[in-house]
Chain A
Amino acid sequence: MNIAIAQMGPAVGKVEENLSKHLELLKKAKDMGAEVVIFPELALTGYELYDLVPDVAIKEGHPIMEKLKEASRILPFFTGFVLEEDDLFFNAAGFFREGKLVHIHRKVFLPNYSMFEEKRFFAEGDRFRAFYDGKLGRVGILICYDYLHPSSSYVYFLQKVDLLVVLSASPARGYPQDGFPSIAMWENMSKVVSKHFTVYVAYANRVGFDGGMAFGGGSHAYSPTGEEILRLKDLEEDLGIFTYERKELRRARVLFPALRDERPRVIYREIRRILNED
């Protein structure tokens, strides 16, 4: 199974233009032999939306939503968009396949510090639900800051996911030495999560500039034994493919039976105790 990561830079608020970019990259990835494509967080809308959030939101029946579904006839794909539901707006990611929106994840951890103001503009998601796909196995979707909380990956781990898909819009920051420290931070997380939860991790970060913020790129994939199997360029548009193999998952889990040895009931009891203490 060949999975592509499309490290692109959407334009703020220009949904039609970003949609065309999706189509172009889906075709390009297909020509390269990809069978699934992963786009970054808010790839349909751009990141620094502020008051544009309601203007670019889509829901079932919206013409843009229909065009996205149609696009998945080229190749199945994951992408990020603003989802409108009951007049609430979510930073969301969807998996589209064969003309359908198969699964939606709403970002649970909205960053609201430093350059981030997501809680001001988005409603919070409240679930991490894995879904099953015939070709990809069990999949969990995370959006950017979700992934920096290891508890999110853990919840998917307990649902026996095979593939964690992370969509990200992470600005490059920190005075660069070998590279930007913010890019290394995501790699460190993927090294640990992939190996210790014995899953494939695919991390798709965007590039380009919003309001002077440069997004870092450095998208990557890690195998379930914790090996880097794809690393895209820092700070530039890029497109690359990694191979996802069922047998690698099995091999990793034979070598390191993390899931078998996990004791979620103990964890559950302890969390319940901690929460009941106040």
Chain B
Amino acid sequence: MRINPEIVEKLAVNFIRTELSRIGMRKGIVGLSGGLDSTTVLYLLTRAVGPENAVAVIMPHRVSSPSSVEDAMDVVKTLGVKHYLVDITPMVEAYFEKMPTDNKVLRGNKMARERMSILYDISAREGGLVIGTSNKSEILLGYGTIFGDLASAINPIGDLYKTQVRVLAKHLGVPEKILRKKPSADLWVGQTDEGELGITYEEADRILYELVDLRKPVEEVERSYGKEKVRGILDKIYKNHFKRLPPQILKISTRTVGRDFLYSRDVLT
């Protein structure tokens, strides 16, 4: 699962440029958390369209770790891109005043969707596309909020595992402190991806790579990593498959959108 980050950078930059110009837009909008994935995407975007057309949106909530905003601001300064700083506490809390809950996941999902809503608003104001920052590990494990952080127009890192994104980030010159940060959705205090998933990315990525990319028989992968871990990952992959697809449409006619009405995403653009 080694990658040549130079080739990947070139391809991703070319991809962002091509897709933007296809739709007739110059700008890209990235929700910047100060973590590895969004910082990597902002670096790629800046190389693709220049700092004048790269827009970072920093959207902290009062539970967000203070260092997240600081790190995000440092990235914005280093790259010289335009940024918006939008505190989402008032809108999220206004909702939960009416609909109170202690459920961390419900609160986290609401925050993720609030951020999506702001990103799409700013993308319309700026005349740009929302650039996705979900990586292959998250997408396969379903570790994201549908219509929240999983929403985007194009995603240059969605086919790279977390550990591969780190290799790419290092090559792009992403600051050391961001490279070394513990991956976290930062939706509540003390949350970490690896804590929630119950497995390290190093190991999860190896297992995913063997199952998904190499299509090794499950039993063989289980022998290397243990039955419980592999079963756990397979469960997550299938249970969350809906997050990767458009909604299921009841088939009534002979040509149903998504099933037998098939066009390339790039059709006639």
B11 on the A face (CB < 8 A): yes
Contact A175 B11 (CB under 8 A): no
Q: Which B residue's beta carbon lies closest to that of A235?
A: B11
B25 on the A face (CB < 8 A): no
* Complex: A13 Cα to B262 Cα, angstroms: 13
B230-269: CB near A (< 8 Å → 1, else 0) gives 0000000000000000000000000000000111111111
Asked, given contacts A177-B4, A178-B4, A235-B10, whether A13 binds B15 with beta carbons under 8 Å apart, the answer is no
- Cross-chain pairs A/B with CB under 8 angstroms, 17 sampled: A11-B22, A11-B268, A11-B269, A12-B266, A12-B267, A13-B267, A46-B264, A50-B264, A172-B11, A175-B1, A176-B8, A177-B3, A208-B18, A209-B19, A209-B266, A210-B266, A212-B265
20 more CB-based (< 8 A) A-B contacts, given A12-B269, A211-B265: A11-B22, A12-B264, A12-B268, A13-B264, A48-B264, A49-B264, A51-B263, A52-B264, A52-B267, A176-B3, A176-B4, A176-B7, A177-B2, A179-B7, A209-B15, A209-B19, A210-B266, A212-B15, A214-B11, A235-B10
Contact B266 A48 (CB under 8 A): yes
* Complex: A175 Cα to B7 Cα, angstroms: 10
* Complex: A210 Cα to B3 Cα, angstroms: 22
B-side contacts of A234, CB under 8 Å: 7
How many A-B contacts at CB < 8 Å in the complex?
Answer: 65
B53 on the A face (CB < 8 A): no
B-side contacts of A129, CB under 8 Å: none
B152 on the A face (CB < 8 A): no
Expressed in whole angstroms, the minimum distance between the Cβ of A52 and any Cβ of chain B is 7
How many residues on the A side are at the interface (Cβ–Cβ under 8 A)? Answer: 26
Chain B: number of interface residues, binned into ranges: 20 to 34
Contact A175 B3 (CB under 8 A): yes
Q: Among B8, B18, B262, B268, point to the contact of A14 (Cβ < 8 A).
A: B268
A180 on the B face (CB < 8 A): yes
Expressed in whole angstroms, the minimum distance between the Cβ of B44 and any Cβ of chain A is 14
Expressed in whole angstroms, the minimum distance between the Cβ of B130 and any Cβ of chain A is 15
Query: Which residues 1-45 of B have a CB within 8 angstroms of A?
Result: 1-4, 7-8, 10-11, 14-15, 18-19, 22
Q: Among A12, A46, A51, A212, point to the contact of B262 (Cβ < 8 A).
A: A51
Contact B15 A214 (CB under 8 A): yes
Asked, given contacts A175-B1, A175-B3, A176-B3, whether A52 binds B263 with beta carbons under 8 Å apart, the answer is yes
Q: Which B residue's beta carbon lies closest to that of A180?
A: B7
Contact B11 A210 (CB under 8 A): no
* Complex: A52 Cα to B261 Cα, angstroms: 10
Expressed in whole angstroms, the minimum distance between the Cβ of A209 and any Cβ of chain B is 5
Expressed in whole angstroms, the minimum distance between the Cβ of A1 and any Cβ of chain B is 33
Query: Which residues 1-59 of A have a CB within 8 angstroms of B?
Result: 11-14, 46, 48-52
Expressed in whole angstroms, the minimum distance between the Cβ of B5 and any Cβ of chain A is 9
